[in-house]
Structure 1
Amino acid sequence: MRYLAAACGLALAGCGAGDAEAEPTLKGKVLAKTADVPVGGGTMNEDLKIVVTQPEAGVYKAFSSLCTHKGCVVSTPENNVITCACHGSEFAADSGKATKGPATGALAAYQVKVEGDGVVVA
């Protein structure tokens, strides 16, 4: 469950239990420059462990870069496919859904929008 913990800690305020302080959210954080996200491909924000895709012109998506199978980091998308180099799982660049196993769960998704020349967390 490493991928869930990582996505939880980065994306959600108050994720977790008890009296722990809430983690800051990523809202408003620039994930990538639009010019760096090719149509049908994407780019990796290694610091935040997020992959940003552009499955069709002007449509941007963002997902956790941690594979839902064993938590390996996925590769930069090509031809609208995000691939995990560890075990060959594949995910759709428009939805994050697993399209080829061994992974069966979708990549954690982030809501994004374009502000100026950047793709930011909404």
Structure 2
Amino acid sequence: MPSPTLNTIETRIRRLQRRLANVGNMRPGTLGVQYRHPAEKKGAFYQISYTRKGRSRSEYVRPENLPAVRREIAAYHRFNSLVDRLLDLSIQASRIRYGARGAHLVTHPART
């Protein structure tokens, strides 16, 4: 399969940028169920746990807010996925641009 052209990659980048602009409200974390009486699994309530700026947090989530919090968590995952793809394409475009100008790029294997 031939390598994509710079124009093709830049078109994909613009498409991803538009999608990023439409992600909406988001928040990191995982949603879990806790129990006030764990042995009997009674008194269930929802809690969101996340780490931000090196600090772990857990917050109670009211039942009526569950759908919105789930959407925000999904949007956060979508955002991260889009950013990851955008970075891959940006690196690829950069390599094509620099290669076309005769610059020498050296890629080093990841250190283990």
Normalising by the residue count of structure 1, what TM-score does the alignment of the two structures yield? 0.20
> Which has more helix, going by share of residues?
2
Larger radius of gyration: 2
Name the structure where strand makes up a greater proportion of residues: 1
Bigger relative contact order (CA 8 A; separation at least 6): 2
* TM-score for both structures, normalised by structure 2: 0.21
